[in-house]
C-alpha cells in the first residue's frame, strides 16, 4: 500500500522547509535509512532519511521549493502502484469523515450492535492481568529538570522492527536540546504513539515493545489511549484481529531474515549513535566491521577504526562491498540531467503535469543555483535568489526586536595598552592563545555580576533577572549568523573561554552546532574589530536586554599626564532595551568593563 512522505519538523521553530536537493528520483528503490533529500530549515541544511521501504512513486515539490511542515512531499509504494489514492487520502481526510452520514439506514443496526460491542469489550478488559502481557510500555522520560513535554524529532525504528535493549528508539527534542531515548527493552516494536514532529507529555506512552503478535489493546486502554490509538496502529490490528496476529508473526519471522542479509549488502547494521559519529568523522560505514551481535556496528567500532586498518577489515567481504557501491551510481546520474532525460523520458511526466515539451524545462530546472540576470530597458543587471530559512528567521527575530524593544546606545573608548601587553605575556607562555575578544568576554562576565540589571530579560508583565551569566558570541557563517553560548562565563578562566569560543566557531562553520549550543543566552557580544571596523551599533538578540558591539583597536594620539602620546583605543557600544535598562545603568556597566580592560590583571583573580 502506498504511503505518503511528509515534510518533517526538524527544529522547534521550523514552520516550513526548503527542498535543497533530492537524492532519489521517481522509480528508485528506497530502503529504511536511505537519505531521500536534503532539507533546509531555519537553522541548517539536514539529511532527511526514509523510514519506509518501497519504490519512489511521486515527488511533490521540486528542488528549491518550500513546503509547510506535514505537507506531502513524496509517495512510496509498490512498483506500478496507483499513488493518487494515497494522495487523495492524505488531502481529503476531513471529507472522508463526512461519508458515514449517508449511512442512515445502517445507523439503526449499528446503534443496535453498538451496545453489544461495548458489553463484550469491557468484560475482557476488566479480566486481563496486565502483568501477564508480554509487552512493556515505553514512556516519555524527563530529560531535564524543566521538561514538561518532548517532541519526537526522529524515530529510528518502525513498527515491526526488532529492537535491542541498548538501541536508541528515537531522538526527542526537549526545551534544552535534542537527545536520544533508549527503550532498555528487547523485542519487537509493536506500537508507536506520537509521530515525528508531535509532542508527548512526560510519562506519556510513546511506544510499546514486546513479543511479536501480542495484543496491546489492554495496555492502551489502561492508559486511556485506546480511542486515539485505535485510529493509528491498533486500527489495523483490531479490525482483522484474527488475521492480523498471523500477519504480525509472519512479519516478525521475515524481519530476522532481512537482518540476516544485512551483512550481505542489503543493509548495514549499525546503531544510530554509531551512524551519527561516523557521519561527523567522515567515515564510510561500508569500511567498518561490527563487533556486536550479527556484525552490528557500535560506538566502540567507530572509535577503534583507523584508515590504515581498512584493507584488513574489508579483505574478506571485498566482493560483497563491491555490490552496494554501484548502487549510488544510478542515484547520482540524475545530476547529469541531459543524459537520463534523453534516454529515459519516463521521469519527465512524473515531475510536473507538463506535456511533451517538459524535458526542456526539466533540464533548465537546476538553473536556480546560478540565476540568469534579468534585463529591462533602462535598468541595470541583477540577480534574484530565494531567501534561505536561516535568513528568514534572522529577519523576523531582529525586526521584532528593533521595532518592539526601544533601543538606546551608549558608547565608550577604552585604553587597551595594558591589555595588549598582558596578552603578549600570556601568549608567550600559554599553550592556549588568548584573543582580545576573550578579554572582552571575560570582562563582561565579571561586570555582569556587579550589574545584574544588564543580565535580565523583558517578559511582558515581568522582568527576569538571570542569576547565571551565559554570554552569546555572534559568529558569522555563509548563510547568516549563529550565536553559540558560553555558559557560566564568569566561572571560566581566560583560557577556558578561549578554547570554547574557538570550538564553537569551528562547529558553526561546519554546521555541527546543536540546539543546546545556541539556547539560553542572557547577554550577547558582537565583535567586528577584526574587519577593521572602528565602531558600530548592534540589534538586541531577544530575549536579552543588551548587546555589546566591539570595534577594532585603533592607534590614535591620546593625552596622558598632560602630554600627547601614541595610544591604542578600542570603542565599544552597548545597545540597551529601555524597558529594562536605563541610561545610567548602561553607562555604569561600561565603566566597569572599561576599568577591567584597562587593568586586566583583575581578570585573573
Is 215 catalytic? The answer is: no
Q: Are 278 and 288 in contact (CB under 8 A)?
A: yes
Is 261 catalytic? The answer is: no
Name the H helices within 384-478: 389-404, 417-429, 436-450
The C-alpha atoms of residue 445 and residue 473 are separated, in whole angstroms, by: 12
Q: What does the chain come to in residues?
A: 605
Per the residue annotation, which of 28, 417, 490, 578 is the catalytic one?
A: 578
Name the H helices within 121-165: 122-127
Q: Are 172 and 143 in contact (CB under 8 A)?
A: yes
Closest CA to 232 of 285, 294, 307, 158: 158
Q: Are 515 and 177 in contact (CB under 8 A)?
A: yes
User: What are the start-end ranges of the E strands in 461-544?
Assistant: 463-465, 471-473, 475-477, 480-482, 485-486, 523-527
- The grid coordinates of residue 47 equal 539529511
The C-alpha atoms of residue 137 and residue 216 are separated, in whole angstroms, by: 9
- The grid coordinates of residue 247 equal 500477519
- Residue where the block lists cell 526586536: 401
The C-alpha atoms of residue 516 and residue 140 are separated, in whole angstroms, by: 19
Q: How many CB atoms are located within 10 Å of the residue 430 CB?
A: 12
- Residue where the block lists cell 583605543: 569
The C-alpha atoms of residue 385 and residue 592 are separated, in whole angstroms, by: 45
- Residue where the block lists cell 533602462: 378
Question: Measured in whole angstroms, how far is the alpha carbon of residue 503 from the centre of its chain?
Answer: 20
Q: Are 541 and 547 in contact (CB under 8 A)?
A: yes
Q: Name beta bridge partners: 137.
A: 208
Per the residue annotation, which of 82, 284, 582, 599 is the catalytic one?
A: 582
- Residue where the block lists cell 585604553: 415
The C-alpha atoms of residue 76 and residue 56 are separated, in whole angstroms, by: 5
Tell me the backbone φ, ψ of residue 530, rounded to 5 degrees: -70, -15
* Residues taking part in catalysis: 578, 582
Amino acid at each position: 500500500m502506498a504511503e505518503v512522505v511528509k515534510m518533517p519538523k526538524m527544529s522547534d521553530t521550523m514552520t516550513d522547509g526548503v527542498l535543497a536537493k533530492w537524492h532519489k528520483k521517481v522509480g528508485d528503490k528506497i530502503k529504511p535509512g536511505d537519505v531521500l533529500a536534503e532539507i533546509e530549515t531555519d537553522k541548517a541544511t539536514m539529511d532527511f532519511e526514509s523510514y519506509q521501504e518501497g519504490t519512489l512513486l511521486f515527488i511533490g515539490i521540486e528542488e528549491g521549493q518550500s513546503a509547510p511542515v506535514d505537507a506531502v512531499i513524496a509517495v512510496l509504494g509498490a512498483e506500478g502502484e496507483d499513488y493518487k489514492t494515497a494522495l487523495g487520502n492524505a488531502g481529503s481526510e476531513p471529507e472522508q469523515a463526512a461519508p458515514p452520514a449517508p449511512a442512515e439506514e445502517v445507523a439503526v443496526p449499528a446503534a443496535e450492535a453498538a451496545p453489544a460491542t461495548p458489553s463484550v469489550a469491557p468484560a475482557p478488559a476488566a479480566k486481563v492481568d496486565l502483568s501477564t502481557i508480554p509487552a512493556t510500555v515505553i514512556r516519555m522520560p524527563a530529560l531535564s529538570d524543566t521538561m514538561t513535554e518532548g517532541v519526537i524529532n526522529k524515530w529510528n525504528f518502525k513498527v515491526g522492527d526488532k529492537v535491542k535493549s541498548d538501541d536508541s528508539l528515537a531522538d526527542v527534542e526537549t526545551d534544552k536540546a535534542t537527545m536520544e531515548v533508549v527503550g532498555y527493552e528487547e523485542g519487537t516494536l509493536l506500537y508507536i504513539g506520537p509521530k515525528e514532529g508531535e509532542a508527548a507529555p512526560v510519562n506519556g506512552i510513546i511506544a510499546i515493545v514486546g513479543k511479536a503478535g501480542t495484543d496491546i489493546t489492554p495496555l492502551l486502554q489502561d492508559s486511556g489511549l485506546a480511542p486515539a490509538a485505535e485510529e493509528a496502529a491498533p486500527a489495523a490490528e483490531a479490525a482483522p484481529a484474527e488475521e492480523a496476529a498471523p500477519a504480525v508473526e509472519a512479519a516478525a519471522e521475515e524481519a530476522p531474515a532481512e537482518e540476516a542479509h544485512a551483512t550481505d549488502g542489503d543493509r548495514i547494521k549499525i546503531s544510530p549513535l554509531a551512524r551519527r559519529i561516523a557521519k561527523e568523522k567522515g567515515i564510510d560505514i561500508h569500511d567498518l566491521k561490527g563487533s556486536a551481535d550479527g556484525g552490528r556496528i557500535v560506538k566502540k567500532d567507530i572509535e577503534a577504526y583507523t584508515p590504515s586498518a581498512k584493507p584488513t577489515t574489508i579483505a574478506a567481504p571485498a566482493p560483497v562491498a563491491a555490490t552496494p557501491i554501484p548502487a549510488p551510481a544510478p542515484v547520482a546520474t540524475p545530476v547529469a540531467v541531459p543524459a537520463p532525460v534523453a534516454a529515459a523520458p519516463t521521469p519527465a511526466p512524473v515531475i510536473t503535469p507538463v506535456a511533451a515539451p517538459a524535458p526542456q524545462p526539466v533540464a533548465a530546472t537546476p538553473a536556480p543555483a546560478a540565476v540568469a540576470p534579468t534585463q529591462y530597458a533602462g535598468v541595470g543587471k541583477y540577480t534574484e535568489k530565494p531567501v534561505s530559512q536561516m535568513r528568514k528567521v534572522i529577519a523576523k527575530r531582529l525586526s521584532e526586536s528593533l521595532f518592539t524593544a526601544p533601543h538606546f546606545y551608549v558608547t565608550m573608548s577604552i585604553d587597551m595598552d595594558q591589555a595588549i601587553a598582558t596578552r603578549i605575556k600570556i601568549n608567550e607562555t600559554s599553550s592556549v592563545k588568548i584573543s582580545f575578544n576573550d578579554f572582552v568576554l571575560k570582562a563582561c562576565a565579571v561586570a555582569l555580576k556587579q550589574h545584574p540589571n544588564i543580565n535580565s530579560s523583558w517578559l511582558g508583565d515581568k522582568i527576569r533577572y538571570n542569576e547565571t551569566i551565559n554570554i552569546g558570541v555572534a559568529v558569522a557563517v555563509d548563510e547568516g549568523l549563529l550565536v553559540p553560548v558560553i555558559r557560566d562565563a564568569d566561572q571560566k578562566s581566560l583560557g577556558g573561554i578561549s578554547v570554547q569560543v574557538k570550538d564553537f566557531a569551528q562547529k558553526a562553520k561546519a554546521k555541527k552546532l546543536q540546539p543546546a549550543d545556541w539556547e539560553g543566552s542572557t547577554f550577547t557580544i558582537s565583535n567586528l574589530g577584526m574587519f577593521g571596523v572602528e565602531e558600530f551599533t548592534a540589534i538586541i538578540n531577544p530575549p536579552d536586554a543588551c548587546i555589546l558591539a566591539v570595534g577594532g583597536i585603533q592607534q590614535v594620539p591620546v593625552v596622558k599626564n598632560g602630554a600627547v602620546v601614541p595610544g591604542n583605543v578600542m570603542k565599544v557600544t552597548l545597545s540597551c532595551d529601555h524597558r529594562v535598562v536605563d541610561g545610567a545603568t548602561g553607562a555604569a556597566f561600561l565603566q566597569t568593563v572599561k576599568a577591567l580592560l584597562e587593568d586586566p590583571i583583575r581578570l585573573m583573580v
